[in-house]
Amino acid sequence: YLEAAFARQSEGVLLHVVSMDVVIDPEWGDACRQETRDFWLRGALDGFVQGGLCGPPCETWSQARFADLGDEQGRHPRPLRSLEWLWGLPSLSLREQGQVAVGNELLLFSIDLLICLARSEGLGVLEHPGEPEDETKPSIWRLPIVQLLRQLPGFDFVDFAQGLLGAKSPKPTRFLTLNMASLPRFLHSHRLCKKRGKLAMFNVR
């Protein structure tokens, strides 16, 4: 869709949309490889990568891990992070440590990419579940590095309820945007519902 839209409006300029995923390419789609990260970050600094849409995994941050399911045997996934230990609790199993390590690495790559795009005046979005109402729960939006980025020129938070686009649940989502001031107006213009629960979209500046 982006390639077709860009071709109609930007004659003489070719846009390639790349989906970075190990399923598509086990080498250049693997953000856990240092060589792969260096390749894409250098591309952003040099201006060959003009934008990035980042969705680092949320499984280790999920608020569902804190739900009380009444399971006496504790078989449901347990919390792996806390407000004090945002990068991962100190006492985890080897499997859990691996989950947290991969989640951290992909999140940090997304942040690095946005920083490189900011230096080259590119565009960027980092998407993750919205900040929880419970101030004691962990969230990437409570990381000091993310709070710092929000204060820099061109960066902003955009909160949006995906239920406004027709989802059955509100599904609150937050974007950390880079040089995309028109995004809230664009999202509002494509709303399918006037209201979904008590949630709405707004900018936090």
3-state secondary structure 107-176: HHHHHHHHHHHHHCCCEEEEEEECCCCCCCCCCHHHCHHHHHHHHCCCEEEEEEEHHHHCCCCCCEEEEE
Q: Give the burial class of 114: count Cβ atoms within 10 A of its Cβ; 0-12 exposed, 13-18 middle, 19 or more buried.
A: buried
- Whole-number pLDDT of residue 199: 42
139-165: burial string, b at 16+ Cβ within 10 Å, e else: bbbeeeebeebeeeebbbbbbbbbbbe
- Whole-number pLDDT of residue 73: 59
pLDDT in tens, the chain (205 residues): 888 878 787 777 788 899 999 999 999 999 999 999 999 999 999 999 999 999 999 999 999 898 876 655 567 789 999 999 999 999 999 999 999 999 999 999 999 999 999 999 999 999 999 999 999 999 999 999 999 999 999 999 999 888 787 777 788 899 999 999 998 888 888 787 766 544 444 444 4
- Whole-number pLDDT of residue 10: 72
The DSSP code for 34 is: H
Residues in the chain: 205
| CA dist list (Å): 157 to 36, 72, 89, 143, 202 | 28, 39, 27, 14, 9
3-state secondary structure of 80: coil
Nearest to 107 by CA among 64, 143, 157, 69: 143
The DSSP code for 79 is: P
pTM: 0.86
- Whole-number pLDDT of residue 161: 85
- Whole-number pLDDT of residue 197: 46
Q: Could you write out the DSSP letters of every residue in 59-72?
A: TTT-GGGG-----T
- H or E element, residue 203: strand 202-204
Calculate Rg over the CA atoms of the chain: 18
Which residue bears the tokens 């929880």?
A: 132
